[in-house]
Amino acid sequence: MFTGIITDIGEIRALTQEGDLRARIATRYDTGGIDLGASIASDGVCLTVVALGPDWYEVQVSAETVAKTNLGDWHVGRRVNLERALRLGDEMGGHIVSGHVDGVAEVVGLRDEGDSTRLRFRAPEALAGFIAPKGSVALNGTSLTVNEVEGAEFGVNLIPHTKTVTNWGDTKLGDRINLEIDTLARYVARLRDWERM
């Protein structure tokens, strides 16, 4: 479980295809405090640590995960939003994020508004109904508040701090972004569907 509050920006150091995709990610985390088998959200995807070095960790990414996320777009040198798993007693600064990406949204608008940046996304049609104005979404692992929704498109605002402590400063039109809908929205929809049965 995660909060969507990014605590490091990692960098892809190596990618190899060994049946599954294996990625080495450089980090500022103290890797001496990371256990093999630990979960780290990498651009919003909960991945299991399978190897550790002095300033890096490695993960294996299944073909299913590559197909459902933007991890197929990863390349050496790419900056990646990182968050370690929530611990009992940690501050809940964002919202409940599972690290299980629901789909990929596309950046369809990007403009500066004062010091902030307004981003507009197109969500997959099947997920659009789960996104509500003033609700929460996780985009590349970052907990963000939805400003407005029009059909399958929605907007968020990024303050300068967010652009500095995440990889959002690298974003361009057309980028594919990992989207996780709010857990509460998921269960409300499930209950509604259950009541219709």
3-state secondary structure the chain: CECCCCCEEEEEEEEEEECEEEEEEECCCCHHHCCCCCEEEECCEEEEEEEECCCEEEEEECHHHHHHCCHHHCCCCCEEEEEECCCCCCCCCCCCECCCCCEEEEEEEEEEECCEEEEEEECCHHHHCCCCCCCEEEECCEEEECCEEECCEEEEEECHHHHHHCCHHHCCCCCEEEEEECHHHHHHHHHHHHHHC
- Report the pLDDT value the prediction gives residue 147, as an integer from 0 to 100: 96
Is the pLDDT at 189 greater than 70, yes or no?
no
The pLDDT tens digits for 135-146 are: 999 999 999 999
CA dihedral over 10, 12, 17, 18, signed as positive or negative:
negative
Q: CATH second-level architecture of 103-196?
A: Beta Barrel (2.40)
pLDDT tier for residue 90 given thresholds of 50, 70 and 90: low
- Report the pLDDT value the prediction gives residue 190, as an integer from 0 to 100: 60
Which candidate, 135, 47, 136, 119, places its Cα nearest to that of 83? 47
Is the pLDDT at 148 greater than 70, yes or no?
yes
Is the pLDDT at 98 greater than 70, yes or no?
yes
Average pLDDT over residues 150-157: 97
CA dihedral over 181, 183, 184, 185, signed as positive or negative:
positive
Is residue 144 within 8 A of residue 79, CB to CB? The reply is no
pTM of the full structure? 0.92
- Report the pLDDT value the prediction gives residue 186, as an integer from 0 to 100: 65
- Report the pLDDT value the prediction gives residue 20, as an integer from 0 to 100: 93
Average pLDDT over residues 16-30: 95
Q: Is 103 exposed, middle or buried (0-12, 13-18, 19+ CB in 10 A)?
A: middle
Is the pLDDT at 193 greater than 70, yes or no?
no
Average pLDDT over residues 156-171: 96
The greatest distance separating any two alpha carbons of the chain, rounded to the nearest whole angstrom, comes to 54
- Report the pLDDT value the prediction gives residue 1, as an integer from 0 to 100: 83
Alpha-carbon distance 50 to 143, whole Å?
26
pLDDT tier for residue 11 given thresholds of 50, 70 and 90: very high
Higher pLDDT, 117 or 3: 117
What class does CATH assign to 8-84? mainly beta
Average the pLDDT over each of 36-50, 103-117, 149-163, 172-186 and give the range with the smallest value. 172-186
Residue 67 identity (one-letter amino acid): A
In the predicted model, what is the mean pLDDT of the chain?
A: 92
Average pLDDT over residues 177-194: 75
Alpha-carbon distance 40 to 27, whole Å?
11
Which residue ranges does the chain devote to CATH 2.40.30.20?
8-84, 103-196
